[in-house]
Amino acid sequence: MNADDLLVKRKRGSKRFVIGAAVIGALFFLVGILIGFFSHESELHPSTPTPKPERLDPTQFMIQNVDAQFLRNKLQNFTSQVRMAGTDGAASLAETIQSLWLSSGVENVHIASYEVLISFPNQSEPNKVELVNKTSGRMIFTSNPFEQELRPAERNSTVVSFTAYSPKGLVLGDIVYVNYGRVEDFEFLRNNLSINVHGKIVIARYGKICGGNKVLNAEKFNVSAVILYADPADVNQEFNGKNDEKTHPDSWWMPSVGIQRGTAYTQRGDPKTPGYPSTDYAYHLDKSNMLLPKIPCQPISYGDALHILGNLSGPISPASWHGTLPIEYRIGPGYDNATDIEVKVTVNNYLDNRPLYNVIGTIQGSEEPDRYVLLGSHHDSWVYGAVDAHSSSTALTQVAELFGQLLKRGYRPRRTLVFCSWDASEPGLIGSTEWVEDNLKNIFERAVAYLNVDMIVQGNFTLDVSSSPLLQDVLYTTAKQIPSPKKEYKTLYDLWQANSMSNINDREPRVTYSLGAGSDQAIFYQLAGVSSANFGFTFDPKKYPMTTYPLYHSSFDNFYTFEHYLDPEFKYTQSMTQFWAVLANNLADAKILPLKVTRYSTAVKKFIYDLIRVYEEIWKKHNVHTDPLLSSVQNFTEATLLFENRLSSEKDLEKKPYRMRMYNDQMMKLERAFLNFDSLSERPYSKHIVFAPSASDLNTDSFFPGLTETMYDIEEELDKWNQLKEQMSITTYFLQSAAKTLSENGML
């Protein structure tokens, strides 16, 4: 080897050196790029102390860890005493929930307390409904003040029955049967039977519309007092007019001694602070300015109703008014062969200021802590409330527990989760209203969705889902992730699809867009424009054509009933809890929000087309033009389509945080585009122009209330045609406005 050779070798070595270094350099380079690239990731997770373990799949973790035994134990505990709002039972349950959440690792757990005006029955002077002799004053019959115990284990069932916020009063008079107490029922009496209910006591059966609206209708027709009862036709399908052996505790049917409770309050929140939270500095309305029911009302059992209705005189009511009591269902007023008998209603309710206790806890989002996914249910109940609502408050506690466990394992979703256990929901959504009013600005700005469960299981047939159209798709995709609680189906989606027909597309499970004001989602949806859903497992409505499950709001809605007849294995509860948890995570952790704006335009289009089909001719006659409205529907529809096209064709969106946030904000805020702060001032809690709790039934929705409710009685009030034209214009404005919020350049 000579120097030249060495030179060659060196050159070769040098070449090898260069190539090798280049290869290694390139590798380092790539690694560098990757580190550089992903260094952002960690910057984007400033509050995540540890990186997400690779193998932890939060969805699978939650599905696997929802624990039927946990749900069972907690339900037994939660239903062990009366949890009526404003009593120690509700207060101590709030404490229990608070400590459970704290120990689960939920963050920022606290009680949000407000002092509110709550209505109570007088335990020592119970309310009653009597039959008395007009001349002698002798009492002929008196109703039971509370529900008799039917099982030895049934404790504390001596809670006096009442209708919340019914005023104290003693009313004597003739009685009239008014079927379900709907406006059309009162109108039928007036128009078809010429029966004037002015100054009369009326008796109405529960069902079809909420109790509060029955009382409100009675007030409008100048009735003096209202008696409510649940007819066996609506709560005991096996009733044969004689025995009630097959009722609770031997089935889920309402026994003849059962009493359904409720509230006559048709506003929402503390009556003394409408629009504002009941904080220590709050201005209180005088009682005379509060919007409270004006006439006494008392609920009784169908066993007692039989005495009141049994011998009524007057015409026989139409067949559709007949329940299944062994009577003729005459209208009244007065009694056959006993003109000296009258009805006496005694109500001794009182109002008191009491603190309520909402429990609030959060899991702060890792990357978008200022975006909230809220989950809520209430922990007050009329009596023991197994179905309504502790099946749900226990499930919420399970969901909180699971997210707490995930947090300990290093998993923190992108967005903040907020767990809300509401107090005083039954008397008038008071806990949620005060809290939303207290936090309105932040909820309006930051909430992505509110997911409510009130009665997680009231049957075992299928899912019952009410929702904003925006959430419809994520409800479906989530249901596809959850195993079916029935063996014959693979997923919850399959079960839901098999047992429910869609309202829009027959291939999809049914979702109604009617959120009503029957549970706490109404406050989020109507006051803050937060896309909301409310869901649970329910019975087959064809087999059981009932408004609610039979023991609803009675003292027999207890743990015994739940474990014997509702969900013995807790598998439906478990399934819905899985669904709730995974749904929340799907909304809280997705980079691109799973909200579907075209669902909104499809829904809007359907409702507007339906309206026009019904009213087209009469509108034409009165010069009400629908062309601008139809154009706005078209514009909104196009805007939603264009938006989704842009979103899906945007390349590498997940790497562009600002654009991602922009799209997410547009989807999230679409719901807010439908809030009208000005025009529904007569109904301060209804600000959504597409869906609003119906003026005639708080528990259902009017679609485009400005239009539909103006049509009511329009033939009698000619000025309403101008109101209708105004509402047509307002509706068009909001649809155009909503379209703009989705346009690429919002200025056009």
Nearer to a second copy, 506 or 652 (CB): 652
Region from 252-260, 297-305, 360-368, 583-591 binding a second copy, contact rule CB under 8 A: 360-368
Least distance (Å) between residue 25 CB and a second copy: 4
Backbone CA torsion sign across 541, 508, 517, 535: positive
Nearer to a second copy, 617 or 652 (CB): 652
Measured at the alpha carbon of residue 580, what is the angle toward residues 579 and 583, in degrees to the nearest 5?
A: 80
Does position 661 interact with a second copy (CB under 8 A)? The reply is yes
Nearer to a second copy, 8 or 662 (CB): 662
Distance CA 380, CA 368 (A): 32
Does position 657 interact with a second copy (CB under 8 A)? The reply is yes
Q: Over the range 255-281, which residues count as b (16 or more CB within 10 Å of their CB) and which as e?
A: bbbbbbbbbbbbbbbbbbbbebbbeee
Site for a second copy (CB under 8 A): which residue of 7, 11, 15, 40?
A: 40
Region from 49-57, 245-253, 485-493, 662-670 binding a second copy, contact rule CB under 8 A: 662-670
Region from 20-28, 174-182, 198-206, 311-319 binding a second copy, contact rule CB under 8 A: 20-28
Cβ neighbors of 332 (< 8 A, separation 6 or more) are 174, 175, 176, 177, 200, 312, 313, 314
Does position 138 interact with a second copy (CB under 8 A)? The reply is no
Nearer to a second copy, 341 or 639 (CB): 639
Nearer to a second copy, 71 or 436 (CB): 436
Least distance (Å) between residue 83 CB and a second copy: 24
How many residues bind a second copy, per CB under 8 A? 91
Phi, psi for 667 (deg, rounded to 5) = -65, -45
Residues within window 461-520 making contact with a second copy, judged by CB under 8 A: none
Bridge partner list, 128? 346
Residues within window 155-214 making contact with a second copy, judged by CB under 8 A: none
Does position 37 interact with a second copy (CB under 8 A)? The reply is yes
Residues within window 61-80 making contact with a second copy, judged by CB under 8 A: none
The verdict on whether omega for the bond into residue 333 sits within 30 degrees of 0, i.e. cis, is yes
Residues within window 369-398 making contact with a second copy, judged by CB under 8 A: 369-370
Least distance (Å) between residue 520 CB and a second copy: 16
Q: How far is CA 632 from CA 601, 637, 687, in A?
A: 11, 8, 20
Cβ neighbors of 547 (< 8 A, separation 6 or more) are 206, 207, 208, 234
> DSSP secondary structure string, 618-657?
HHHHTT---HHHHHHHHHHHHHHHHHHHHHHH-TTGGG-H
Q: Which two tokens stand for residue 332?
A: 């009244």
Residues within window 699-728 making contact with a second copy, judged by CB under 8 A: 725-726, 728
Site for a second copy (CB under 8 A): which residue of 195, 341, 604, 629?
A: 629
Site for a second copy (CB under 8 A): which residue of 199, 241, 318, 746?
A: 746
Q: How far is CA 44 from CA 41, 128, 665, in A?
A: 5, 64, 18
Q: Which two tokens stand for residue 447?
A: 């909430």
Nearer to a second copy, 133 or 729 (CB): 729
Site for a second copy (CB under 8 A): which residue of 7, 8, 34, 139?
A: 34
Least distance (Å) between residue 32 CB and a second copy: 3
Nearer to a second copy, 220 or 655 (CB): 655
Distance CA 17, CA 696 (A): 86
Nearer to a second copy, 506 or 627 (CB): 627
**3-state SS track over 521-542:** HHHHHHHHCCCEEEEEEECCCC
Residues within window 405-464 making contact with a second copy, judged by CB under 8 A: 418, 438-442, 445-446
Residues within window 247-306 making contact with a second copy, judged by CB under 8 A: 275-277, 279-283
Cβ neighbors of 732 (< 8 A, separation 6 or more) are 628, 629, 631, 632
Nearer to a second copy, 246 or 669 (CB): 669
Neighbours of 48 (CB within 10 A): 17
